């Protein structure tokens, strides 16, 4: 690393014991998930709720030998649970404790793995600790864990471990490091399926680039070495994940509707595959926390109002100037469960590292470090372009590659943006610590100490001026946004009206106005927080540049940076942490009488909702049935439903069955129910006569088993 002799003398201050980082990570995560220690509460999970964890078909260790998902439609082959880290944790602690602690456990593993990679890359414990904190607290990963996608977080941790194996040259045989890295990549694929496959390509690219970028041997030799390391990694990754890949192909590609690789199939699948594309305007949400709200399940003013998860049908509707009817209820207007905020300090220090790497002389980084920084910068930029999906032309470049059309949602590339940003942040800390935090100021010739500003170099001077300009422009943007809040509120009110129309219900204009006004107020507050974090981060860097934290005071720079980092990201992540009293939700006063009735020998019958649109006054039951009953209580009590619940990748045989059962004449729906052992129907009692007269006019087999009303649970307090 190049150092200015006028600035530093090395000292021994600022050293941090390696074990402090994992303990600090544990303490921060424990504080954020403290309510998990309450016996009655679990963390809300959309992708892996407690109900599904309690289902018989997913129970371990039996599920290691095969799974038949019998709770959805007539059942589907779910392969077998893999012996990966996530399932081993689930087996060890059980479903309830898994629902309580899987998110903080996965995030802790991620933070420790990232810190280990940074240590193996030659960085000091302070940098590794702050880098690990950034990895597990950056909103993209933290909120993904809170959404229930903890296997993806463990997979990303395995990618850090794979990079750690490659980062340092040990005195071991050539093949050891890539073999260990390949095993980590294999576990990554086992955990995260298509995301894991994408990350395996990133690790392979890093292995090749790292070898080629070395300067001590001819380019041909470097290229051969890089390809050799990649081949060794692929062999060990393939060996580790062979069964996982076969299950993945069998359950998500082979025999799955719409996964053909011919051009017509790819074209027809485009809308489905790109539903979760990031609108370009939401790039700002990477640097401004929760600018467009948080998640669709976040209540109140933090409810998400951006464009992630918008069905392309809505794009066409707005392009037609709203002349066509709005899309039907199955077309999402928006849907997201996680944030994408990188962290203000993460972005600022990562940007400082990137700019430092382009300095032709007097950079704080060595040439080898600069080349690695360029790699991660390229990963961040290219991944961001792919994340735009259908809103930019770049995703088309890879969509037509073999089997890329089977990967759903371009916003998955935001995981790479986050990954690369965390690595750039760590390199920035490494550069700051190397130049400014490990030494003490040296007096100028003649014994007099020069003022910092008079001796600062051009790069630092421009950085300080740029920081002041950035703060000023941020304040101007905040004021401008505030002046436009009326237009934003009108836009959101129109979206609320269309969403209500799509679902066949009215919208109270006064309530809508109050709600969207609160959403915009929340968004404006987030801009204010961004300005504050920008000011604090810039001020801290200015203090570091000026020598405030040199010598024995260096450790306080780490403390101050840690406070800003944790404070900023913890505040941004807090709305995503939701706890459920699972005993009230699933077990309070026993299951309700209808659930109790259906759960009795549920393997002998199925249940379905009446296939008729209920009147508006009974529409609440449809929402209750589709969300609370089918996705929560039915799975918890192993109740089989004929209705299809969240099946984005339908097997071809099941699709063929469903198509053959869509009768348009006679026999009617009764034949479908007979063939599938569907004994019970749920719906308005007033439809009884119509069912017997229209669907079963000869036998009149429909009868009411029991009536029930939808009322709040006794412990629910009405507003």
Tens of pLDDT, residues 323-339: 777 787 778 888 888 99
Give the range among 158-167, 398-407, 689-698 with minimum mean pLDDT.
398-407
Q: What is the pLDDT of residue 442?
A: 41
Strand partners, 641: 72, 607
**Average of per-residue pLDDT across 653-679:** 75
Q: Where are the beta strands (DSSP E) in 63-183?
A: 68-69, 76-77
Higher pLDDT, 572 or 686: 572
Higher pLDDT, 506 or 287: 287
**Average of per-residue pLDDT across 169-192:** 85
User: CA-based Rg of the chain, rounded to a whole angstrom?
Assistant: 28
- Flag whether 609 is in a domain: yes
Residue 106 has pLDDT above 80, yes or no: yes
In contact, 137 and 574? CB cutoff 8 Å: no
Q: How many CA atoms lie within 13 A of 413 on its CB side?
A: 24
Q: What is the pLDDT of residue 259?
A: 56
- Flag whether 597 is in a domain: yes
**Angstrom distance (rounded) from CA 266 to CA 235:** 30
Cβ atoms < 10 Å from Cβ of 305: 22
**Angstrom distance (rounded) from CA 493 to CA 621:** 26
In contact, 513 and 402? CB cutoff 8 Å: no
Using pLDDT thresholds of 50, 70 and 90, give the confidence band for residue 408: confident
Residue-averaged pLDDT of the chain: 85
User: Left (φ > 0), alpha (ψ -120 to 50) or beta: where does 193 sit?
Assistant: left
Q: What is the pLDDT of residue 88?
A: 94
Q: What is the pLDDT of residue 694?
A: 84
Residue 494 has pLDDT above 90, yes or no: no
Using pLDDT thresholds of 50, 70 and 90, give the confidence band for residue 127: very high
**Average of per-residue pLDDT across 167-182:** 83
Q: Which two tokens stand for residue 28?
A: 């921060």
**Angstrom distance (rounded) from CA 224 to CA 598:** 64
Q: What is the pLDDT of residue 573?
A: 97
User: Left (φ > 0), alpha (ψ -120 to 50) or beta: where does 638 sit?
Assistant: left
End-to-end alpha carbon distance in the chain: 63
pLDDT tens track for 10-41: 444 444 467 888 999 999 999 999 999 999 99
User: Left (φ > 0), alpha (ψ -120 to 50) or beta: where does 175 sit?
Assistant: alpha
**Angstrom distance (rounded) from CA 21 to CA 117:** 13
Give the range among 145-154, 353-362, 688-697 with minimum mean pLDDT.
688-697
- Flag whether 643 is in a domain: yes
**Average of per-residue pLDDT across 632-657:** 83
Q: What is the pLDDT of residue 449?
A: 39
SS3 assignment, position 2: coil
SS3 assignment, position 148: coil
**Angstrom distance (rounded) from CA 48 to CA 280:** 30
**Average of per-residue pLDDT across 56-72:** 90
Residue 250 has pLDDT above 90, yes or no: no
pLDDT tens track for 254-301: 555 555 565 777 777 788 888 899 999 999 999 999 999 999 989 889
C-alpha dist (Å) from residue 208 to 229, 248, 331, 372, 534:
8, 27, 42, 12, 36
**Angstrom distance (rounded) from CA 127 to CA 491:** 44
In contact, 390 and 312? CB cutoff 8 Å: yes
- Flag whether 689 is in a domain: yes
In contact, 618 and 684? CB cutoff 8 Å: yes
**Angstrom distance (rounded) from CA 641 to CA 568:** 44
Q: Among 218-222, 510-514, 520-524, which range has the highest average pLDDT?
A: 520-524
Please list the alpha-helical segments (H only) found in 310-451.
Answer: 312-319, 344-357, 367-387, 395-399, 414-436
Higher pLDDT, 560 or 662: 560
Using pLDDT thresholds of 50, 70 and 90, give the confidence band for residue 439: low
In contact, 233 and 204? CB cutoff 8 Å: yes
In contact, 645 and 630? CB cutoff 8 Å: yes
pTM: 0.90
Q: What is the pLDDT of residue 163?
A: 95
In contact, 572 and 341? CB cutoff 8 Å: yes
Positive or negative, the CA dihedral 517, 519, 525, 527 is negative
- Flag whether 187 is in a domain: no
Q: What is the pLDDT of residue 507?
A: 66
Domain span including residue 668? 593-695
Nearest to 642, CA basis, from 667, 665, 625: 625
**Angstrom distance (rounded) from CA 202 to CA 382:** 12
Number of domains forming the structure of the chain: 1
**Average of per-residue pLDDT across 91-104:** 95
- Flag whether 151 is in a domain: no
Residue 582 has pLDDT above 70, yes or no: yes
Cβ atoms < 10 Å from Cβ of 223: 13
**Angstrom distance (rounded) from CA 347 to CA 287:** 7
- Flag whether 684 is in a domain: yes
In contact, 1 and 368? CB cutoff 8 Å: no
* CA 569-298-152 angle, 5° bins: 60
For residue 296, the 8-state DSSP code is T
Residue 463 has pLDDT above 60, yes or no: yes
Burial tier of 109 (Cβ tally within 10 Å: 0-12, 13-18, 19+):
buried
**Average of per-residue pLDDT across 385-414:** 88
Place of tokens 């992540």: 573
Percent of the chain as helix, strand, coil, to the nearest 5 = 65, 5, 35
Higher pLDDT, 479 or 273: 479
**Average of per-residue pLDDT across 86-109:** 95
Residue 4 has pLDDT above 50, yes or no: no
Q: What is the pLDDT of residue 260?
A: 56
Residue 251 has pLDDT above 70, yes or no: no
In contact, 75 and 603? CB cutoff 8 Å: no
Q: What is the pLDDT of residue 513?
A: 87
**Angstrom distance (rounded) from CA 7 to CA 4:** 6
Q: What is the pLDDT of residue 447?
A: 37
Q: What is the pLDDT of residue 239?
A: 78
In contact, 71 and 52? CB cutoff 8 Å: no
Share of the chain above pLDDT 90, in %: 46
């Amino acid at each position: 690393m190049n150092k200015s002799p006028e600035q530093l003398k090395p000292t021994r201050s600022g050293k941090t014991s390696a074990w402090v980082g994992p303990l600090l990570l544990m303490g921060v995560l424990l504080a954020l998930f403290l309510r998990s220690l309450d016996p009655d509460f679990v963390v809300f999970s959309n992708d892996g709720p407690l109900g599904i964890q309690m289902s018989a078909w997913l129970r371990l260790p039996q599920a290691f030998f095969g799974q038949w998902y019998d709770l959805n439609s007539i059942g589907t082959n779910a392969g077998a649970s893999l012996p990966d880290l996530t399932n081993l944790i689930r087996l060890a602690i059980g479903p309830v404790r898994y629902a309580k602690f899987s998110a903080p456990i996965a995030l802790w593993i991620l933070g420790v793995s990232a810190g280990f990679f940074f240590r193996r890359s030659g960085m000091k414990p302070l940098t590794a600790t702050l880098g690990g904190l950034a990895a597990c607290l950056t909103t993209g990963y933290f909120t993904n864990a809170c959404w229930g996608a903890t296997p993806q977080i463990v997979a990303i941790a395995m990618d850090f471990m794979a990079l750690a194996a490659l980062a340092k040259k040990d005195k071991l045989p050539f093949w050891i490091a890539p073999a260990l890295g390949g095993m980590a990549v294999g576990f990554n694929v086992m955990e995260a399926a298509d995301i894991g496959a994408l990350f395996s390509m990133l690790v392979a690219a890093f292995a090749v680039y790292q070898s080629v970028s070395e300067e001590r041997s001819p380019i041909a030799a470097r290229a051969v070495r890089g390809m050799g390391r990649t081949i060794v990694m692929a062999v060990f990754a393939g060996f580790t994940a062979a069964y996982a890949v076969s299950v993945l192909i069998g359950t998500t590609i082979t025999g799955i509707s719409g996964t053909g690789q011919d051009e017509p199939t790819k074209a027809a699948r485009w809308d489905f595959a790109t539903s979760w594309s990031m609108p370009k305007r939401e790039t700002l949400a990477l640097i401004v926390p929760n600018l467009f709200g948080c998640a669709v399940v976040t209540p109140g003013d933090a409810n998400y109002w951006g464009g992630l998860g918008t069905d392309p049908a809505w794009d066409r509707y707005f392009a037609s100037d709203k002349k066509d009817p709005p899309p039907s209820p199955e077309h999402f207007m928006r849907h997201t469960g996680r944030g994408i905020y990188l962290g203000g300090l993460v972005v600022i220090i990562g940007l400082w590292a990137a700019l430092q790497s382009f300095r032709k002389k007097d950079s704080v980084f060595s040439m080898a470090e600069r080349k690695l920084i360029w790699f991660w910068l390229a990963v961040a930029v290219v991944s961001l372009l792919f994340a735009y999906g259908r809103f930019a032309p770049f995703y088309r470049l890879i969509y037509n590659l073999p089997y890329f059309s089977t990967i759903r949602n371009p916003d998955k590339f935001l995981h790479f943006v986050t990954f690369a940003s965390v690595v750039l942040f760590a390199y920035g800390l490494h550069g700051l610590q190397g130049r400014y935090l490990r030494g003490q100021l040296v007096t100028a010739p003649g014994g007099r100490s020069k003022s910092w500003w008079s001796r600062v170099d051009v790069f630092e001077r421009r950085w300080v001026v740029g920081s002041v300009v950035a703060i000023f422009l941020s304040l101007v943007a905040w004021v401008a946004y505030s002046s436009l809040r009326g237009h934003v509120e009108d836009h959101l009110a129109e979206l609320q009206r269309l969403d209500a129309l799509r679902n066949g219900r009215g919208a109270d204009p006064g309530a809508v106005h109050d709600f969207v006004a609160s959403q915009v107020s929340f968004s404006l507050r987030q801009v204010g927080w961004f300005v504050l974090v920008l000011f604090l981060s810039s001020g801290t860097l200015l203090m570091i540049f000026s020598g405030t934290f040199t010598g024995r005071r260096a450790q306080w720079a780490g403390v101050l940076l840690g406070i800003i980092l944790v404070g900023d990201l913890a505040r941004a992540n807090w709305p995503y942490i939701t706890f459920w009293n699972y005993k009230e939700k699933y077990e309070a006063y026993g299951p309700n009488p209808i659930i109790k009735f259906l759960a009795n020998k549920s393997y002998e019958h199925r249940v379905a909702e009446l296939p008729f649109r209920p009147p508006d006054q009974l529409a609440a039951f449809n929402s209750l049935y589709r969300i609370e009953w089918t996705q929560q209580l039915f799975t918890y009590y192993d109740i089989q439903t004929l209705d299809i619940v969240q099946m984005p990748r339908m097997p071809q045989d099941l699709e063929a069955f469903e198509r053959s059962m869509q009768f348009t004449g006679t026999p009617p729906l009764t034949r479908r129910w007979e063939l599938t052992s569907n004994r019970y129907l749920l719906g308005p009692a007033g439809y009884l006569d119509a069912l017997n007269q229209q669907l079963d006019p000869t036998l009149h087999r429909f009868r009411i088993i029991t009536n029930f009303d939808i009322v709040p649970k006794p412990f629910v307090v009405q507003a």
